Amino acid sequence: MHKRWAMRKARVLLTGFEPFDGASFNISEKVVSEIKKSGFNEVDLETKILTVDERGSRCVSELIMEKEFDCVLQLGFSNKARKINLESKAVNKINMKIKDNSEREISNKMVISQGKSELMTTCEELNNLDKTFPEVMFSSDAGTFVCNETYFRTLHSIFENNICDRFGRPLPCIFIHLPSKKYVSIPKQINFISWLINKINNKKIIEVVAAIIHNKEGKILVAKRDNKQPHPGKWEFPGGKLESLELEEDGLKREIFEELNLNIEILSNCGEITHLYDEYFVKLKAMNAKIDKNSEHMKLNVHEEILWLSSDDLTTLDWLDANNKLVKIIQNHS
């Protein structure tokens, strides 16, 4: 029986830091507090204010092992920042120029012994960030203080333990350095963080099936989308979206008949992939099939062209992003 994905609310962890270095105020604590007070109903939001010491740096990496989250946004203050800095990576290094709140002052040591030298953010949405926020910039320098230590420990935990969100992708995690309110007002900072939470988490889930149709020579049917479809000119394995409560095999047979006028016999499962597009998330299941011996002749109802290719030749085409992942599965099976 086909199992539908649950459309529960996303669970988001939003963290900030307490004041440090003799300061009485940390803007990250203020932003987290204001977002929490606003009653952010779009997601299930959990907030934490971290201590500026080793205990605080371990808090998130331990918490994501205990609870399921779909997104982790870590906020901190930087006195060097003039904009909201989206940190693309964390480095495996602690080199403190000031003491933390436990009086630690570590020089040139690794955050995690034998860990990688750096880890990149798992937040894919940064690749598609639009230009509606002039007060935001990308940064590749999260420093070497407790902010970076916290970020590195969290990413290390995600990668080492294969921690995923509800879509099966590596748990989205980003560290954001906030500037002083004299450079970007607190309301603007709150507005951007709230927008980013929504962008990461509020994704429509589309369930798709695709047929890997083999002929007697072992070649595979591939089809080129015509100019009336989204992503015209891209190649794909024929198939389409499941209808409400439709079984996977039934949906695939329906789609192939609608697209190609073919009746198919489904042989076995080929594989499943997930892919994040900008505004929606695709869960795609592929099934090996062959054309039924009593099928009518093929007609191209939504495609411009079809080809029969060997698995080795599949990489020569310009694929839809999600289908490109299927190519690797097919070639590995071959």
Q: What is the mean pLDDT of the chain?
A: 92
Q: pLDDT value at position 278? A: 67
Last residue of a domain, which of 182, 201, 220?
201
The gap from C-alpha 8 to its chain's centroid, in whole angstroms, comes to 17
Among the candidates 167, 184, 201, a domain finishes at 201
The pLDDT value given to residue 204: 79
Q: Give me the residue label for tokens 């007002």.
A: 185
Q: Find the range with the poorest average confidence among 50-54, 241-245, 275-279.
A: 275-279
> Does residue 180 have a pLDDT over 70?
yes
**Which domain, by its residues, includes 307?**
204-333
Q: How far is residue 135's CA from residue 75's CA, in Å, rounded to a whole number?
A: 16
pLDDT at 2 over 50: no
Whether pLDDT at 19 is above 80:
yes
Please tell me whether residues 185 and 259 are part of one structural domain.
Answer: no
Give pLDDT, residue 62. Answer: 98
Q: Is the same domain home to 155 and 267?
A: no
Tell me, what DSSP letter sits at residue 211? E
C-beta of residue 102 within 8 angstroms of C-beta of residue 90: no
One-character DSSP codes across 121-149: ---GGGGG--SS-TTEEEES---SSHHHH
pLDDT of residue 299: 95
* Predicted confidence band of residue 3 (pLDDT cuts 50, 70, 90): very low
> Tokens 């890997």 identify what position?
212
Domain boundary (169, 201, 233) is at 201
* Judgement on whether residues 114 and 224 belong to the same structural domain of the protein: no
d(CA 70, CA 254): 34
Spell out the residues 6+ positions from residue 163 whose beta carbon is closer than 8 angstroms to its own.
64, 65, 157, 170, 171
- In this structure, is residue 80 part of a structural domain? yes
Contact 183, 85 (CB under 8 A): no
CATH number of the domain within which 138 lies: 3.40.630.20
pTM of the model: 0.72
- Domain co-membership, 240 together with 326: yes
Q: Which two tokens stand for residue 246?
A: 């439709």
Q: Which residue has the higher pLDDT, 90 or 132?
A: 90
**Number of domains the chain contains:** 2
pLDDT of residue 167 exceeding 80, the answer is no
d(CA 73, CA 75): 7
- Report the distance separating Cα 65 and Cα 74, nearest Å: 16
